[in-house]
Amino acid sequence: MKVPFLDLSLQHRALREQALAALTATYDATRFCLGKDVEDFENAFATTLGYPAALALNSGTSPLHLAAALAGWGPGDEVIAPPFTFISTVWGISYVGATPVFVDVEQDTFNLDPAKIEAAITPRTKGIIAVHLFGQPARMQEIMTIARKHGLFVVEDCAQAAGATYQGTPVGLLGDAGTFSFYPTKNLGGCGEGGAFVSRRDDLFAKAKLLRVHGSGRRYFHDHVGFNFRMDGFQGALLGVKLPHLAGWTARRREIATRYRAGIKLANTLLPVSGCSEGESVWHQFTLRHPKREALRAHLATSDVGTDLIYPVPLHRQACYAQLGYAEGALPVAEQACATVLSLPIFPELTNEQVDHVIASVNAFPG
């Protein structure tokens, strides 16, 4: 039995008729940049997931750039972020000329460790970016307590956590700004690039809306130095077709995770937790840890089970941040994660037979 790490074709085949009809309508109406399809998607996204409003953008990196601009971060400012995440998390910090300061993650959730944040705060610290990695909410209560005490602007990178809540609040509304990605592999993936920005602060949201389109509220009048972060009409139309399925897809991801957690019995294996006490994961990834993960990966490949290494290198050890001067061993939990993680297939269209084949193959690893 073959179990690919990810197969996007199943989901897109199922929605083909609806998707093509939506694209045709957008094409015939020549609604190519923002427009009604994007607005309808923004409203549906906000209503479905519990946001006061949402701004659709052209990628998941753009809202992180937008948030850094809205925060007013700039040269000389330091912004705290986790090192075990996708690089986009910190691009916004660098784009505005500020400096990322990496704080180690927790062993059990892979997320920013609140207990290590305060030691990294200096008079130059202006913000924190918390990531809800692999769909698992970060410990926002502790993070926000520290942020309030030090007057820091908090961004939540929700790229992998669409649909997740923390203490009943949708992720992205706990800090100052929340950012999403609709890259095709995300839990809610478009057919191309896309992203979104949310905020519980009306002032911030209003300014984000201006910055998204050239800093302009009135055509050819520019109050701010802005961006072109518009979402395409086609992308809005396609995301509108997919959004109603997100809740069902999330439920299926949770079922698969539960099945993995109950079935995998391999010795020396650390399984991902089902949630920190305040938030339940939407399982963007199912990432276990094993000291011999390369051998385990090769073993699974011989059983036709696809896997991925997410992530092999922590951000503080990336070549582009060599000038920041982090030595090997500086952030040991993140480095240990990079050396031992292995992600198993977890997409909604997997059958129970496929999941059981993965479980049996993992358990058959001779070690």
Ligand X SMILES: *Cc1c(COP(=O)(O)O)cnc(C)c1O
User: Where along the sequence are the contacts to ligand X (CB under 6 A)?
Assistant: 59-61, 85-86, 88-89, 131, 157, 159-160, 181, 183, 195
CB of 181 to ligand X, least distance (A): 3
Nearer to ligand X, 170 or 190 (CB): 190
Parallel, antiparallel, or unpaired for β 169-170 and 177-181?
Answer: unpaired
CB of 182 to ligand X, least distance (A): 7
Query: Considering only CA atoms, which of 184, 209, 237 is closest in space to residue 59?
Result: 184
* Opening angle at CA 115, ends 111 and 121, nearest 5: 100
Nearer to ligand X, 310 or 350 (CB): 310
Nearer to ligand X, 304 or 308 (CB): 308
Nearer to ligand X, 131 or 173 (CB): 131
What would the two tokens of residue 149 be?
A: 């005490």
CB of 232 to ligand X, least distance (A): 14
What would the two tokens of residue 157 be?
A: 């990178």
Nearer to ligand X, 34 or 362 (CB): 34
CB of 29 to ligand X, least distance (A): 26
Nearer to ligand X, 51 or 311 (CB): 311
User: How far is Cα 110 from Cα 85, in angstroms, rounded to an integer?
Assistant: 9
The Cβ-side half-sphere exposure at 319, using a 13 Å CA radius, reads: 0
Query: Considering only CA atoms, which of 179, 173, 180 is closest in space to residue 199?
Result: 173
Which residues are CB-contacts of 227 (< 8 A; sequence separation ≥ 6)? 62, 65, 66, 69, 211, 212, 213, 214, 215
CB of 140 to ligand X, least distance (A): 16
CB of 183 to ligand X, least distance (A): 4
CB of 220 to ligand X, least distance (A): 29
CB of 267 to ligand X, least distance (A): 31
With 0-12 / 13-18 / 19 or more C-beta atoms within 10 angstroms meaning exposed / middle / buried, residue 353 is exposed
Q: CB count, 10 Å around CB of 97?
A: 12
Residue whose CB is nearest to ligand X in the complex, by number: 60
CB of 123 to ligand X, least distance (A): 28
Nearer to ligand X, 239 or 300 (CB): 239
The string over 342-352, giving b where at least 16 C-beta atoms fall within 10 Å of a residue's C-beta and e elsewhere, is bbbbbbbebee
Nearer to ligand X, 334 or 355 (CB): 334
The string over 252-264, giving b where at least 16 C-beta atoms fall within 10 Å of a residue's C-beta and e elsewhere, is bbbebbebbeeeb
What would the two tokens of residue 297 be?
A: 């990966």
Dihedral over alpha carbons 240, 22, 60, 39 (to 10 degrees):
-60
Nearer to ligand X, 316 or 357 (CB): 316
The phi, psi pair for 159, rounded to 5°, reads -55, -35
